[in-house]
Structure 1
């Protein structure tokens, strides 16, 4: 990392809604000695990001933007990711952590393996946050607050790299969710990409009706809520279906089956069955809204410190804050990929190794603080 200016550097490639919001969240955390550099193929976007305070400065040359960075966040449309990786690869220093924010992961993980040198650590990422509108003008520091942030480490990613990305997730106030890339794409296809397709399909179908002018005057909040995603950026949508085609086809077929079931119940006047379906959905949706499901590992990783962890991992060193909270880390998450057994003994998962490393760091730090406190007390006693 280039430390000629004494600062640790994070470079964000792509300063739109997600990249700009990440920059704003990092800036809001006021991490000491951190410089945030932004690059965007649209110079106006990068300049606007600098003016809005999302980044410290814009660098219009991509290679110069990533030179000296301890972490590079690729926040460009999915279909541009491979090209960005190929362009930045020669400029990355050994140990640099590279992550992304795209909404599909299997393709991105393969591209990273092909394009990035072996000495670069890639940890795939996907913040489950966004808006139907795009661009730096809509960016905000609170975009990721309380939202799930998927983490997909490459098989050969170091524990330190994973902890660095975990620190980033905590800094932006998200809930980390470790997940296998293929599993991620199937689930994202259901809860993120299918709603996009359904929203667009519903609006397109009704808009094509000869009676649209009259229907449109009656459209209100329910229609607006359900079709909100139809105004999403078509280029972003293209990237989603181009890299998650099989999962989308699967969920669309499942949705078609469910719609046919509803049609059949209506057609056969199965009012009791319909009522039961609506009541069940109401109860379960309200329960989900009150308390969304959380994997065990989320509660564990939530105890990892955020800002200090990110800064220390960028330059090496121990974690520094939230000692008591981070001590509760041991029962960590499921691994991606899964652990195996060797010589009849279970090999610790990547998650377990991270947990053990963090716990050791924290114990050492607390011990040093205890020794320092004793020295301070001794000095006070001598003065009195």
Structure 2
């Protein structure tokens, strides 16, 4: 492998495999090792070229890594950090991809040694399904990659984590963990709860046998969950439950208002609200696809890596930084 930068990806689903495929752009300079608890998934990721090789043993996966990407469900991160904490190289940079950041940041501070770097991460991507089959090299291109350093995070860690995001093709977006979790509660966890509740209401109804026969595109769109199973779908909302509950209260109030407008025959007002929502939704989808959020300022005024991505992959990240200060 020579002087290749070694990147370990733990978790080879949609995000992990897409990260590996993105890093293939630098395959002459970067060597990617992958691990997944499901050997079949690991083998498929290797076959599709997402990793150079796979390791069935977690410790062997990360022991020599310069960078570690934890592309894992929230409920697997604590135990994984605990398992790898004593095996990481000095100066190793660890970034996770979970959609809740406060608990992850706390676990990292508790478990990881002082001679490693950790910055919470959360790539904002849209995919038809959250499976390995949907993985692609351009999944992160021009998409926001949230990074949540705090006041204890070493400056070098912030720079290196931003470089990792840029290497995947993403745009680093800095904000603190509490702000991140508050935003995600509204646009990720609330929709998940709403979709799951609607799905539960209808499929447990005594009339489901007939309802399912006429359920079509609107039912599909309204009950679509991006997670592969219930545990993955609800990990985030439960970890973030206090803020999610506040948004649920607002949703319940909104539904009550719409109910009254419906019963009162206020069709014109409701149609206008729907049209405004559709226009805002189309604008969001276009901006999300293009990665163009020029009308919004960065959440936190932090230095970005700018044009340093290639320096990172081929130069700066290849050099051992100074020993980190306490996170």
Q: What TM-score do you get using the length of structure 1 for normalisation?
A: 0.74
Task: Confirm or deny: 8 A CA contact 1:75 1:101 kept in the other structure.
Answer: yes
User: For 1:177, what is the secondary structure of its paired residue?
Assistant: strand
Q: Aligned residue for 1:202? A: 198
Please list, as runs of the form range in 1=range in 2, the aligned pairs for 1:142-153 lying within 5 A after superposition: 142-153=138-149
Q: 1:283 to 1:20 in 2, by over 3 A?
A: closer
Q: Aligned residue for 1:259? A: 255
Task: Confirm or deny: 8 A CA contact 2:120 2:147 kept in the other structure.
Answer: yes
| d(CA) in 2 for partners of 1:101, 1:184 | 13
| d(CA) in 2 for partners of 1:283, 1:39 | 42
Indicate which of 299, 307, 317 corresponds to 1:314: 317
Task: Confirm or deny: 8 A CA contact 1:149 1:176 kept in the other structure.
Answer: yes
Q: Aligned residue for 1:57? A: 53
Task: Confirm or deny: 8 A CA contact 1:86 1:116 kept in the other structure.
Answer: yes
| d(CA) in 1 for partners of 2:207, 2:41 | 41
Q: Aligned residue for 1:14? A: 11
Segment of structure 1 superposing worse, 265-274 or 130-139: 130-139
1:42 pairs with 2:38: yes
User: For 2:225, what is the secondary structure of its paired residue?
Assistant: helix
Q: 1:139 to 1:150 in 2, by over 3 A?
A: same
C-alpha root-mean-square deviation of aligned residues, in Å?
Answer: 2.6
User: For 2:90, what is the secondary structure of its paired residue?
Assistant: coil
Q: Aligned residue for 2:325? A: none
Q: 1:191 to 1:54 in 2, by over 3 A?
A: same
Segment of structure 1 superposing worse, 299-308 or 76-85: 299-308
Tell me the CA shift for residue 239 of structure 1: 1.8
Decide which structure has the larger Cα Rg and report it: 1
Tell me the CA shift for residue 230 of structure 1: 7.2
Task: Confirm or deny: 8 A CA contact 1:38 1:59 kept in the other structure.
Answer: yes
| d(CA) in 2 for partners of 1:290, 1:40 | 34
Tell me the CA shift for residue 66 of structure 1: 1.1
Q: 1:154 to 1:92 in 2, by over 3 A?
A: farther
Task: Confirm or deny: 8 A CA contact 2:227 2:233 kept in the other structure.
Answer: no
| d(CA) in 2 for partners of 1:62, 1:157 | 26
Tell me the CA shift for residue 302 of structure 1: 8.2
1:222 pairs with 2:225: no
Please list, as runs of the form range in 1=range in 2, the aligned pairs for 1:328-343 lying within 5 A after superposition: none
Deviation track 1:86-128 (CA, whole Å, cap 9, x = no partner) reads: 1111111221111101110000000000000112111110011
User: For 1:93, what is the secondary structure of its paired residue?
Assistant: coil
| d(CA) in 2 for partners of 1:175, 1:8 | 21
Q: 1:111 to 1:260 in 2, by over 3 A?
A: same
Please list, as runs of the form range in 1=range in 2, the aligned pairs for 1:225-264 lying within 5 A after superposition: 225-229=221-225, 232-264=228-260
Q: Aligned residue for 1:25? A: 22
Please list, as runs of the form range in 1=range in 2, the aligned pairs for 1:1-384 lying within 5 A after superposition: 5-27=2-24, 29-129=25-125, 131=127, 133-229=129-225, 232-291=228-287, 293-294=293-294, 295-297=296-298, 301=304, 303-316=306-319
User: For 1:11, what is the secondary structure of its paired residue?
Assistant: strand
Task: Confirm or deny: 8 A CA contact 2:68 2:95 kept in the other structure.
Answer: yes
Q: Structure 2 stretches of 5 or more lacking a match?
A: 322-327
Segment of structure 1 superposing worse, 100-109 or 81-90: 81-90
Q: Structure 1 stretches of 5 or more lacking a match?
A: 319-384
If asked which structure has higher relative contact order (CA below 8 Å, sep 6+), I would say: 2
| d(CA) in 2 for partners of 1:43, 1:184 | 33
| d(CA) in 2 for partners of 1:135, 1:262 | 36
Q: 1:131 to 1:5 in 2, by over 3 A?
A: same
